[in-house]
Amino acid sequence: MPDLSPTLQDGSRIAVIGGGPAGSMFSYFLLNMADAVALDVSVDMFEPRRFCHRGPAGCNHCGGVVSESLVQRLATEGIILPEDVVQRGIESYTLHMDVGDVEIATPLMEKRIAAIYRGNGPRHSEPLDTESFDGFLLQKAQEKGANVIRRLVTDMSREGERMRVRCADEFCDDYDLVVLATGVNSRLMEVLEDQAQEFTRPERTKTFICEFRIGRDVIKKHFGPSMHVFLLDIPRLEFAALIPKGDYVTLCLLGDDIDDDLMRQFFDSPEVANCFPGGIIPSHVCHCFPRINIKAAQPAYGERVVMIGDSGATRLFKDGIGAAYRTAKAAAKTAVFHGIDADSFKTHYAPLCRKIHNDNKMGKVVFGFGSLVQKARFARRGVLRMTANEQKQVSAPRRMSGVLWDLFSGSASYTDVFLRTLHPVYIGSLLWNLMVSNLPGNAATKNPVAGVECDRAKH
Amino acid sequence: MANLGKQYQDGEVIVRQDDTGNCMFVIQKGEVEAVIETDGRKLRLRKMGANEFFGEMALFEKETRTCTIRAIGPTHVLTIDKKNFLKGIHEDPSLAFRIVKTMSHRIRDLTDRLAKYEEDRP
């Protein structure tokens, strides 16, 4: 019997709703693959925002870090992040705790993590000779042949064998496939959940992101090419980082519904204040409380519909742009090589979403351990001592440093990170460091071995 | 504004012939040259620029580097780990497509050069 499941044909039309990294990468890879198999399809990308604007009008509200693994994968794909997109190359993480600080260097001593702006810089910033990361990817998709439509999609529905997309200005058009890449802060996801009982939109939590204007030279001196992360005993705070970029430093707080009380505790911490010149935290010039996806949409596909990036499945707290790349490419491969019906997406796309979802469950366990360390001062001392000693050694395996690096950077899966913590040598070394660092005399003060210099002019 | 990867100065060796390797490299900015040393003579094989890669054979085999790669002027080069690359391939085999395509071009180029060499040989 012939296979009657719908597939993309010459002349098929695809609507991609959202021109962020997921939408742009889907369009780029789909058009690339279609070209390779001589399939003539058209892609319309609906994106009302112009990423050349500064402040909220051009921003997709995110910390703006492209992980080490994604930088490498994009480079392998032939997508090099241009100099004007990369605000700063990150080559180390500095972990700040009440018991001391430690700098964890990148494994190969090279800049492998990119600090970027999703838009064109913070509100009220001067015109910059920089380019938005989202704008750069959108341009890549356009170069492949995607057509960008500056309209806001407010609704979509099934019309016979096709999908109808409606916009706020009453424009509507029919497509063979609709790809949802709106992120989780879009009203469209709520509309779809109300329409379809079988669909549950992603679960979300509130985060906090703000920008401090500090100046390039001061940033170089006080922050260097290092991302500063904090392990503080503040309930509900899972991750906090200061990310240096050009003239600004971005603060990113992730956790369980970040609120004023949590933020006050964070800003009152001396470990945070000590990162800034003179120990004074300046006023921020731009801030937002974006929501992030903490549980995937169910299901992240339907008949002639697929959800990618934050709209579908993403990694817990880390590497959201990396997850956008992975889901976008998997959805594009499914559409070009298998089909655009629900069964095709279930067979070829859903396994990746499940993999991400299952890894996030492991991520919750890993962050659970992290919370225990946050709460226990003796554990923080052990972690600090073990990491600092590893950083002084050149050739010995850096087990704790590797675990922390991958946890902060999102470069490895949570499952991989967790499995490495079960290694007997890791456990033995941690126990030894816990014991030694908490001996009377060692435990009384900040660990001088681990302390990093405030003046980072060496970079 | 910044470049990713590691910066090399003019003439600096990025990869040395006969060394063992476990990564490949993608040029972020600048140019490099591939030089092979044989019987005490140095032959320049090719020049490569931004977005081109080298050292890819180390991802697939455990042999030593076949030639030396040197920076021509200030160059930024990003390292691609074997582990990260192979993990990526496992999840998405099409990640290797560009590498296969480039290797195919290089085999074609070598075949053409060999044919020309055979033709020119007295």
Contact at CB, B5 and A112, closer than 8 angstroms = yes
pLDDT computed for residue A289 by the predictor: 86
Domain presence at residue B74: yes
Task: Label residues A290-319 b or e (16+ Cβ within 10 Å = b).
Answer: bbbbbbbbebbbbbbbbbbbbbbbbbbbbb
pLDDT computed for residue A58 by the predictor: 65
**In angstroms, what separates the C-alpha of A235 from chain B's closest C-alpha?**
34
Contact at CB, A129 and B28, closer than 8 angstroms = no
Give the range of the structural domain holding residue B106, as residue numbers without chain letter. 6-120
A322 contacts in chain B (CB < 8 Å)? none
| Mean pLDDT score of chain A | 87
A76 contacts in chain B (CB < 8 Å)? 26, 53, 80, 85, 88, 95, 98-99
Contact at CB, B80 and A69, closer than 8 angstroms = no
pLDDT computed for residue A451 by the predictor: 42
Interface A-B: count of C-beta contacts within 8 A: 85
Burial (Cβ within 10 Å: 0-12, 13-18, ≥19) of residue A132: buried
pLDDT computed for residue A386 by the predictor: 94
pLDDT category of residue A429 using cuts at 50, 70 and 90: very high
Question: Mean pLDDT lowest for which of A112-126, A303-317, B37-51?
Answer: A112-126
Nearest to A110 among B6, B29, B50 (CB): B6
Q: A16: closest CA among A236, A328, A411? A: A328
Burial (Cβ within 10 Å: 0-12, 13-18, ≥19) of residue A331: buried
**In angstroms, what separates the C-alpha of B3 from chain A's closest C-alpha?**
5
User: Which residues of chain A are in CATH 3.50.50.60 domains?
Assistant: 13-64+124-203+296-360
Residue A411 in tokens: 């470069």
Span A309-322, average pLDDT = 89
Q: A201 in contact with B at a CB cutoff of 8 Å?
A: no
Span A196-207, average pLDDT = 81
Contact at CB, A72 and B81, closer than 8 angstroms = yes
> What's the number of domains chain B is made of?
1
Nearest to A81 among B4, B80, B81 (CB): B4
Interface of B with A (CB under 8 A): 1-6, 26, 28-29, 50-51, 53, 78-81, 84-85, 88, 91-92, 94-95, 98-99
Q: Which fold has domain A89-116+208-289+376-437?
A: D-Amino Acid Oxidase; Chain A, domain 2 (3.30.9)
Please give the residue of chain A at the shortest CA–CA distance from B79. Answer: A72
Q: What is the DSSP string of A141-182?
A: HHHHTPEEE---EEEEEEETTEEEEEETTS-EEEESEEEE--
| Eight-class DSSP state of A198 | T
**In angstroms, what separates the C-alpha of A330 from chain B's closest C-alpha?**
8
Whether residue A337 is predicted with pLDDT greater than 80 in this model: the reply is yes
**In angstroms, what separates the C-alpha of B61 from chain A's closest C-alpha?**
18
Contact at CB, A72 and B28, closer than 8 angstroms = no
Neighbouring residues of A225: CB distance < 8 A, sequence distance ≥ 6 = A88, A89, A90, A91, A92, A111, A244, A459, B2
pLDDT computed for residue A449 by the predictor: 42
Domain A13-64+124-203+296-360 top-level CATH class: alpha beta
Query: pLDDT per residue over A15-62, tens digit each?
Result: 999 999 999 999 999 999 999 999 999 999 999 988 777 777 666 667
Q: A77 in contact with B at a CB cutoff of 8 Å?
A: yes
Give backbone dihedrals phi and psi of A74, rounded to 5 degrees, phi first. Answer: -65, -40
What is the share, in percent, of chain A residues with pLDDT greater than 70? 92
pLDDT computed for residue A452 by the predictor: 45
Domain presence at residue B22: yes
Span A327-344, average pLDDT = 96
8 Å CB contact between A231 and A380: yes
Q: How far apart are CA A326 and CA A353, in angstroms?
A: 10
Domain presence at residue B1: no
Residue A239 in tokens: 């991750």
Span B91-109, average pLDDT = 90
B5 contacts in chain A (CB < 8 Å)? 89, 110-112
Domain presence at residue B84: yes
**In angstroms, what separates the C-alpha of B7 from chain A's closest C-alpha?**
8
Q: A409 in contact with B at a CB cutoff of 8 Å?
A: no
Domain presence at residue B115: yes
- Helices (runs of H) and strands (runs of E) counted in chain A: 14, 21
Residue A107 in tokens: 């494994």
Please give the residue of chain A at the shortest CA–CA distance from B8. Answer: A110
Radius of gyration of the CA atoms of chain A, in A: 23
Q: A452: closest CA among A211, A105, A192? A: A105
**In angstroms, what separates the C-alpha of A33 from chain B's closest C-alpha?**
10
Q: A73 in contact with B at a CB cutoff of 8 Å?
A: yes
Contact at CB, A110 and B91, closer than 8 angstroms = no
Interface probe for B, chosen from A25, A72, A140, A223 (most Cβ of B below 10 Å), is: A72
Please give the residue of chain B at the shortest CA–CA distance from A87. Answer: B1
A269 membership: H or E segment, kind and range: none
Contact at CB, A75 and B88, closer than 8 angstroms = no
| Mean pLDDT score of chain B | 90
B85 contacts in chain A (CB < 8 Å)? 72, 76
8 Å CB contact between B32 and B69: yes
Q: A195: closest CA among A210, A183, A215, A180? A: A180
Q: A37 in contact with B at a CB cutoff of 8 Å?
A: no
**In angstroms, what separates the C-alpha of B48 from chain A's closest C-alpha?**
14
pLDDT computed for residue A350 by the predictor: 95
Please give the residue of chain B at the shortest CA–CA distance from A330. Answer: B92
Query: pLDDT per residue over B48-82, tens digit each?
Result: 999 999 999 888 888 889 999 999 999 999 999 88
Whether residue A223 is predicted with pLDDT greater than 70 in this model: the reply is yes
Query: pLDDT per residue over A432-445, tens digit each?
Result: 999 998 888 765 55
Q: A129 in contact with B at a CB cutoff of 8 Å?
A: yes
Whether residue A281 is predicted with pLDDT greater than 50 in this model: the reply is yes
Contact at CB, A76 and B26, closer than 8 angstroms = yes
User: Which residues of chain A are in CATH 3.30.9 domains?
Assistant: 89-116+208-289+376-437
Contact at CB, A108 and B84, closer than 8 angstroms = no
Nearest to B95 among A73, A111, A114 (CB): A73
Write the CATH number for B85.
Answer: 2.60.120.10
Beta strand ranges found along B4-113 (DSSP E): 6-8, 13-15, 23-38, 41-48, 53-54, 68-81
Contact at CB, A86 and B2, closer than 8 angstroms = yes
Q: A173 in contact with B at a CB cutoff of 8 Å?
A: no
pLDDT computed for residue B35 by the predictor: 94
Please give the residue of chain A at the shortest CA–CA distance from B95. Answer: A77
Radius of gyration of the CA atoms of chain B, in A: 15
pLDDT computed for residue A28 by the predictor: 97
